[in-house]
Amino acid sequence: VSQRRVTIRDVAEKAGCSIATVSRVLNQSGPASTDAAERVLAAADALGFSFNELGRSLQSQRSRTLGVIVPSLSNPVFAAAIEGVQAEATAAGYQILLACSNYDEPSEIQAIRTLIGKQIDGAVLTVVDPDDSPALALLKAQGVPYCLMFNQPETPQPSVGVDNVAASRMAADMLLQAGHRNTAFLAIRFDGSERARLRHQGFSARLLEAGCPEPALLEVGDNPQDLDARLGALFAAHEGITALYASNDMLALAAIRAVRALGLRVPEDVSVIGFDGIAIAEMVDPSLATIATPCPEMGRGATSQVITAINEDRTPAATMTALPFSFRTGGSLGLAGAEKPADERAPVRRRTHPTTPVTKHGS
Amino acid sequence: VSQRRVTIRDVAEKAGCSIATVSRVLNQSGPASTDAAERVLAAADALGFSFNELGRSLQSQRSRTLGVIVPSLSNPVFAAAIEGVQAEATAAGYQILLACSNYDEPSEIQAIRTLIGKQIDGAVLTVVDPDDSPALALLKAQGVPYCLMFNQPETPQPSVGVDNVAASRMAADMLLQAGHRNTAFLAIRFDGSERARLRHQGFSARLLEAGCPEPALLEVGDNPQDLDARLGALFAAHEGITALYASNDMLALAAIRAVRALGLRVPEDVSVIGFDGIAIAEMVDPSLATIATPCPEMGRGATSQVITAINEDRTPAATMTALPFSFRTGGSLGLAGAEKPADERAPVRRRTHPTTPVTKHGS
DNA sequence: ATGAAAGCGCTAACAC
DNA sequence: GTGTTAGCGCTTTCAT
């Protein structure tokens, strides 16, 4: 079945010259007579030659390949970010080697090992714990430039994301404006996502400042089966909850479903706000109020930092680039104790975060 | 910044032996004295050595890398399939090199060229036109084993998907059972997706058999902005449409939104059925009635065929593996002319396709 | 059991 | 302008 692939040597033979000349012509990396060039081009074309990038990479010590690790592909935020990475990488002539960690550190380490073995020139990734990550340690030890996406490390690290604390304070503000005081926070396991933790932090802080009770906390797994029951228990344990903030849109959507399964209405009985701003959130009914974040831009930004670093033979700056976010209101947000959603009465104003990227570390 | 990576030579030196011995020990590919083995292991460990897979691949002529090309990542079906590919590939010790074609043939060709250049051992992909694909031609010419996902080629090709015609006949059946006779079919451009074309074909055929008028057809782009207007025009041009079948769930969701924007209710005025069975479809309100397909299994199945072929040094069989599908009812499907959704009156029974994979070619 | 050496496909000095 | 040659990191005969 597998015919031997045509190599530079075959082209040289057919063109009647040495492999050096072929290389020079095809790479335009040195002098060649018009005559020789023509023969080489013709031969390469006739043979359907294309370079074996393995040999090339081995020699040049650069693979033109970027490693990408995301926790999961089922959450559209990561898919959206990867599209950004793809676009940027392709434009710069890089390919991407993709791996999923499933929010699991051992898988993450294994993945990064393999990627390093394949001699990636750089990495763009979202890690489980950016402040104590064996994967990142490996990358540093090998001198592979990397940039995080989504992650918001405390320690200075190259990263592109949003200020989760500020964004969540904004979410709290919107709820406060709509008259909510008794809230709940629904999060994926904190130990697998520092974002969820920071979102909780910002949200709680703002509510406490406003003299509200601490939001009731519910931590769940990646793909919660028993959300109905657990949410029911939470509502039973905490009387008078009128609003729920979820640490991401997928969870928010699941929450809406669960809330309804409990016989409650959204937003009349419970308002729901999500985080991320995935496309689907705008297509459902009621539309999901959420913190809209620029996912493809995170991918693009992180990728461009890495590529620039590679080109300049250095490491990306160990700072977090905070991208702008905005609050996108939706039918899932209503006034506390009202029978109508807020935006059918006094529409909650759409607020946008300053568009200038702020550079800051940690939270 | 970039310290020289440690090579097998460094390990050999530290262990006081030749690189051949290091290779044999680390790969367990030949004899070695317990003593030498220990020294090698210790040295490798101390140095933090790991193989440079480039050198290894170049020598062994296998990269342990699979190329993956999907039309887009924004549609969760492809993300889900990739998760399946990932799982299967990782389990077999393969990495995946990912590219997106954006439903565009030139990009597809470019992507496959690069992948081939990187010496992928096999490819798993969804192409624009499986029956006349330059990308597949390239793969064949190079003797790279591949298997399609989702695609349902007319010509015999290795592929894992569902029988789109049969599935769409089933969708038509469900609509007929609910009393619908005047329908519309909403599709992404036929020229970018033979699936959409086949789905239309099966749907129309069944309706015509039942003596219904041909469904009104609306073809739109990947991410239609003007869906509201175009759907409005369609409804205006064709009186009495009570149901809409969309060629995929994302489109179906967008359609529901558009229908509502037109002041119509789902399902009271218009029922909607989608295709794919993405997770979100179950989370929205009303839940989306759809043809549920096993996306991760398509990725897994296609990948396992390719890997098996690689291991046996042959090409995957040029046949389509049709995976089972089922109709998943939902709130978006109602009885024609009724004020209540069908499943709140006489629930539409959930039908499942025979679970035995059928092998068949073409449509 | 171990090492020397050839060579995978390529690039880049360095001659000529 | 062109060819020869020495590797890039590795595996694998083939001697020893």
Place of tokens 């490996």: A138
Are A216 and A234 contacting, i.e. CB atoms less than 8 angstroms apart? yes
How far is the C-alpha of B249 from the C-alpha of B253, rounded, in Å? 6
Task: Report CA(A114)–C1'(D5) in Å, whole number.
Answer: 33
What local confidence, expressed as pLDDT, does residue A278 receive?
97
Chain A nearest-CA residue for B1:
A314
Q: Single out the residue of A157, A148, A164, A139 nearest to residue A85, CA to CA.
A: A148
Is the distance from CB of B260 to CB of B272 less than 8 angstroms? no
Reported as a single tens digit per residue, the pLDDT across B157-209 is: 999 999 999 999 999 999 999 999 999 999 999 999 999 999 999 999 999 99
Residue A338: the pLDDT is 74
Which pair of structure tokens corresponds to residue A342? 């807020």
Whole-number Cα distances in Å, B157 to B67, B71, B124, B315, B317: 17, 19, 12, 10, 7
Query: C-alpha A52: how far from its chain's center?
Result: 32
Averaged pLDDT, A223-243: 92
pLDDT tens track for A329-345: 999 999 998 765 555 54
Smallest Cα–Cα separation from B272: which of B295, B249, B294?
Answer: B249
Nearest CA distance, B211 vs chain A (angstrom): 34
Token output for A97? 């080697």
Q: In the predicted model, is pLDDT for residue A355 greater than 50?
A: no
The token pair at B256 is 């529901």
* CA distance readout (Å), A17 to A52, B107, B133, B145: 19, 33, 35, 33
Q: Is B5 within 8 Å of chain A by CB?
A: yes
Q: State, as a whole number of angstroms, the distance between the CA of A43 and the C1' of C14.
A: 27
Q: Which pLDDT score, from 0 to 100, does residue B340 have?
A: 55
A225 interface with B at CB cutoff 8 Å: no
Interface membership of A100 toward B (CB under 8 Å): yes
CB contact under 8 A, A256 and B50: no
Q: Which helix (H) or strand (E) holds B187?
A: strand B183-188
Work out the average pLDDT over A186-197. 95
Looking at the DSSP bridge assignments, the partners of residue B218 are: B186
Q: At what angle do helices B34-47 and B8-15 cross, to 10 degrees?
A: 130
In B124-163, the residues whose Cβ lies within 8 Å of chain A are 141-143
Strand extents, DSSP E, chain A: 65-70, 95-100, 122-125, 146-149, 159-161, 183-188, 216-220, 243-246, 271-276, 289-292, 320-322, 326-328, 358-360
Residue B7 contacts A where some CB pair is shorter than 8 Å: no
pLDDT at A339: 66
Q: If DSSP codes are grouped into helix, strand and coil, which group holds residue B244?
A: strand
Q: Apex CA A56: angle with CA A317 and CA B94, to 5°?
A: 80
pLDDT at A363: 29
Q: What is the pLDDT of residue A302?
A: 98
Cα–Cα distance measured from residue A71 to residue A267, given in angstroms and rounded to the nearest whole number? 31
Strands B326-328 and B289-292: antiparallel
In the structure, how far is the CA atom of residue A11 from the C1' atom of nucleotide D3, in angstroms? 15
Distance from CA of B220 to the nearest CA of A (A): 17
Q: Counting one residue from A and one from B, how many pairs have CB atoms under 8 Å apart?
A: 142
Closest nucleotide over all strands to B10 (CA to C1'):
D9
Q: Which residues contact A195 (CB under 8 A, 6 or more apart)?
A: A150, A151, A152, A161, A164, A247
Pairing, β B65-70 against β A326-328: unpaired
Taking the CA of residue A208 and the nearest CA in chain B, the distance in Å comes to 32
pLDDT score for A362 = 31
CB A301 within 8 A of CB A273: no
What residues of A are in contact with residue B285 (Cβ under 8 Å)?
256-257, 260, 284-285
Give the strand pairing for B320-322 and B326-328: unpaired
* Nucleotide D8 C1' to residue A59 CA (A): 4
CA gap B321, B113 in Å, rounded: 27
On the question of pLDDT at A211 being above 90, the answer is yes
Q: Cβ B79–A73 below 8 Å, yes or no?
A: yes
Residue B29, pLDDT score? 95
pLDDT at A304 over 50: yes
Residues of B in contact with A96 (CB under 8 A): 97-99
Mean pLDDT for chain B overall: 92
Which ranges of chain B have pLDDT less than 70?
Answer: 1-3, 339-363
Specify the pLDDT at position B339.
Answer: 65
Q: Per-residue pLDDT averaged across A186-207, rounded?
A: 97
User: What CA–CA distances, in Å, run from B158 to A95, B130, B318?
Assistant: 25, 10, 4
Chain B, residues 40-69, CB within 8 A of chain A, namely 48, 50-55, 57-58, 63, 65, 68
B117–A283 CB contact, under 8 Å:
no
Strand C within 7 Å of which CB atoms in A 26-45?
A: 26-27, 29
CA distance B110 to A142: 31
Closest CA to A69 of A21, A29, A116: A116
